[in-house]
Structure 1
């Protein structure tokens, strides 16, 4: 079991759990799952089998702990059943609404569940909320979205803070930034500290995968030659979605980065190279298997002993269910377990009030988007010139193009009303948040039903 012998584990409800990257990390940090909810049937099968085989749940406990379906569907699960004295609500809500590689539809994307998760937190009142997403959510495009999230959390009685964490700073051999929100009830917030990055760099792709590359007889000298070329950590593993065909290692830029490491990123192999294997003309080297991708994602616990040349490895034995493409997506879309474990340990310390209490800067009223804050506080429409004057009076100087850009961003995620003044100027007023937070009449219901077969 994850918790020490005789110690009552802290309890977590996990939404959008995927194949269990966050699940494994949190369990290793000492949490036990009351329930995990996931849409994809193969990922559900993966979760249930590993809760039983790896994490010590009985078969019935594993079956009961994982619910399959749309996390926002009240017929799938009843959050109120799991809310009593809950320690942690956690999840990796869908990334496409915020991905730089996508359309960045934000609140207008039927896959956006971030705002819904914040309202769920307000309903079931866990001691801590943990949500993670892609780096795109940290950009200026979503400053008002993030501002609204912090404001809503404050209204629900939480102190929230955003942070960008890099997986390679926590032992993962991959450039994988993740934007993380942690929100705590005040009595625990003063004991929270973000996890400290490792000082030692993770092993290179070659060092990490050497034994797997040579596992089927590929000549040792060729394996060593490949290891020398694969001398850096990996680019971000891209799991992709059901919209975009089979498994490969990402867009053109990522494929070029993989080629520099001697990896053919045009697909995923069924097996490691065998004796006599040589790359086809034009290919930079072998393809990775799903087992190799899983190791890069952190499903093996890697610790360097005396430098990265000697590796102590714990293979958790996590088995993924489904065909190769589904397995690759489950792995590629996951939150790396070592990062989840580090966050879980920091949250556990806060819940146990370990260390001295501190006054945190996030207890002040954070301003991520001053235009949003100003319009939200006003009861009347304001022109761009009026916005600039009011902000300047408050000590924030923005030029006209910046104000107009922020207004454009706001119009994507909030209802924006406009009025034409007699002098031709346009006055703006900010309306309700467009995001799905559980409304019966929200467009998300129709869009989700329409696109469900392609949502992953």
Structure 2
């Protein structure tokens, strides 16, 4: 299957794009909201068209024009699931995960790859994940989630990413997740040459003291101030590596420079920490924009590792194998969906085939009610629950997401 093509949504500055190119995919289209990130993509992508705008707006691009593309990929917004945020999930106007999944029903790509933050793997989103798996199965895909550590793929950083891969049934037996490649380089080894590039005499000593990997780079958003390297805990970890995390430098340290904590990182240094190699990608925009583009990216080596396995599966390389895929993330959601009527505590226990503690049920219903409409009936003093519609934006014209998005568009990133 020569010339496997990818349509990439919420493409950012191209961390995933570069990884997929290295994995053997050619871009047919990349869609991105931010103008500076779009300019970065246009400057660096070796193939395909780049369009700028709301990815859910049919005036920006028409999904049906890409029917049957090899791969649909994206790094949809993280704030709806971030542990550092409110974890609004389906109620966050930036949530495009469910919408991206529904694109498979329109485009019918041979494979889907979506990445997001570790928060999406938490129990809070078990029902959300279950809904996604159910929808993809209904569309004829075998889907699986996997929490991948960027440091397992040569990236000198603590950066867990929660990745969803789905393949049409005929390709699924050829897919397997990539294996770790070994210990990553340290921050000191990664950045020594850049720290010395301005003539700073302390670069070697600094590198010897920075023999750990970095905390997670935090790109931030337009809703919050300028560029720095993260919250208090991250700043403390950076200080232990001899890095001043209170901002981003315009240039590497120079001759005679002395620091209380250590030098600040430049955007080029942050890109190295994210997995970009020297000179392989140039970022457009002012410093804060460049930093956000880099900091919010999917590390290219991780995207490449997963992309290679998808590429091999689509070419049906290797032996077919029986894959054991975890298809159950939320048994209470599954029980409510199966019966599709009001169910009491005792009825749920019978369907589950086990006892169900009151606090467990209450927590599950509370979590589900944040992403689904849950009807509650307390007739005869017996509480009963019924699973209603999914609240997430999946393309509905009248969904509240559209109104909120237009209102806050300038601040969404």
Scaled by the length of structure 2, the TM-score of the pair is 0.98
Residue number among 403, 419, 431 corresponding to 2:377 in the alignment: 419
Residue number among 407, 422, 430 corresponding to 2:365 in the alignment: 407
Alignment deviations for residues 313-355 of structure 1 (CA, whole Å, 9 cap, x no partner): xx24311000000000000000000011111110011011111
Which whole-Å CA distance do the structure 2 matches of 1:317 and 1:388 have between them? Answer: 56
Residue number among 115, 119, 124 corresponding to 1:132 in the alignment: 115
Which whole-Å CA distance do the structure 2 matches of 1:339 and 1:316 have between them? Answer: 19
CA contact (8 A) 2:175 2:310 kept: yes
Alignment deviations for residues 8-44 of structure 1 (CA, whole Å, 9 cap, x no partner): 3210000000000000000011100110000000000
Query: Which residue does 1:305 correspond to in 2?
Result: none
- In structure 2, relative to structure 1, the CA distance for the partners of 1:198 and 1:25 (3 Å cut) is same
CA contact (8 A) 2:215 2:238 kept: yes
Residue number among 183, 194, 216 corresponding to 2:198 in the alignment: 216
CA contact (8 A) 2:341 2:387 kept: no
Q: How does 1:65-84 map to 2 (within 5 A)?
A: 65-83=49-67
Which whole-Å CA distance do the structure 2 matches of 1:380 and 1:264 have between them? Answer: 57
Query: Which residue does 1:306 correspond to in 2?
Result: none
When structure 1 is superposed on structure 2, of 169-178 and 225-234 the one drifting more is 225-234
Query: Which residue does 1:255 correspond to in 2?
Result: 235
Query: Which residue does 1:3 correspond to in 2?
Result: none
Q: Secondary structure at the match of 1:244?
A: coil
Query: Which residue does 1:311 correspond to in 2?
Result: none
Q: How does 1:276-355 map to 2 (within 5 A)?
A: 276-279=256-259, 283-300=260-277, 315-355=278-318
State the Cα distance separating 1:397 from its structure 2 match: 4.0
CA contact (8 A) 1:216 1:275 kept: yes
CA contact (8 A) 1:384 1:404 kept: no
Alignment deviations for residues 184-219 of structure 1 (CA, whole Å, 9 cap, x no partner): 0011000000011112x1111011100100111111
Q: Which runs of 5+ in 1 are unaligned?
A: 1-6, 301-314
Q: Secondary structure at the match of 1:439?
A: coil
- In structure 2, relative to structure 1, the CA distance for the partners of 1:198 and 1:397 (3 Å cut) is farther
Query: Which residue does 1:10 correspond to in 2?
Result: 4
CA contact (8 A) 2:340 2:387 kept: no
Which whole-Å CA distance do the structure 2 matches of 1:321 and 1:431 have between them? Answer: 45
State the Cα distance separating 1:388 from its structure 2 match: 2.6
Q: Secondary structure at the match of 2:171?
A: helix
CA contact (8 A) 1:388 1:400 kept: no
CA contact (8 A) 1:264 1:287 kept: yes
Which whole-Å CA distance do the structure 2 matches of 1:157 and 1:120 have between them? Answer: 13
State the Cα distance separating 1:169 from its structure 2 match: 0.5
Which whole-Å CA distance do the structure 2 matches of 1:276 and 1:174 have between them? Answer: 29
Which whole-Å CA distance do the structure 2 matches of 1:425 and 1:346 have between them? Answer: 51
Residue number among 187, 202, 226 corresponding to 1:205 in the alignment: 187
Which whole-Å CA distance do the structure 2 matches of 1:382 and 1:346 have between them? Answer: 42
Which whole-Å CA distance do the structure 1 matches of 2:279 and 2:180 have between them? Answer: 22
Q: Which runs of 5+ in 2 are unaligned?
A: none
Query: Which residue does 2:343 correspond to in 1?
Result: 382
Q: How does 1:131-280 map to 2 (within 5 A)?
A: 131-199=114-182, 201-219=183-201, 222-279=202-259
Q: Secondary structure at the match of 1:187?
A: coil
State the Cα distance separating 1:407 from its structure 2 match: 0.6
When structure 1 is superposed on structure 2, of 381-390 and 127-136 the one drifting more is 381-390
Which whole-Å CA distance do the structure 2 matches of 1:182 and 1:146 have between them? Answer: 13
Query: Which residue does 1:118 correspond to in 2?
Result: 101
Which whole-Å CA distance do the structure 1 matches of 2:280 and 2:337 have between them? Answer: 51
Which runs of at least 4 in structure 1 moved beyond 4 Å after TM superposition?
Answer: none
Which whole-Å CA distance do the structure 1 matches of 2:329 and 2:407 have between them? Answer: 35
CA contact (8 A) 1:388 1:403 kept: no
The alignment's C-alpha RMSD in Å is 1.2
Which whole-Å CA distance do the structure 1 matches of 2:305 and 2:342 have between them? Answer: 46
Which whole-Å CA distance do the structure 1 matches of 2:108 and 2:69 have between them? Answer: 7
**Does residue 453 of structure 1 match 2:410?**
yes
Which whole-Å CA distance do the structure 1 matches of 2:355 and 2:256 have between them? Answer: 66
CA contact (8 A) 2:210 2:241 kept: yes
Which whole-Å CA distance do the structure 2 matches of 1:373 and 1:82 have between them? Answer: 33
Which whole-Å CA distance do the structure 2 matches of 1:438 and 1:263 have between them? Answer: 44
Residue number among 49, 64, 69 corresponding to 2:43 in the alignment: 49
Which whole-Å CA distance do the structure 1 matches of 2:34 and 2:230 have between them? Answer: 21
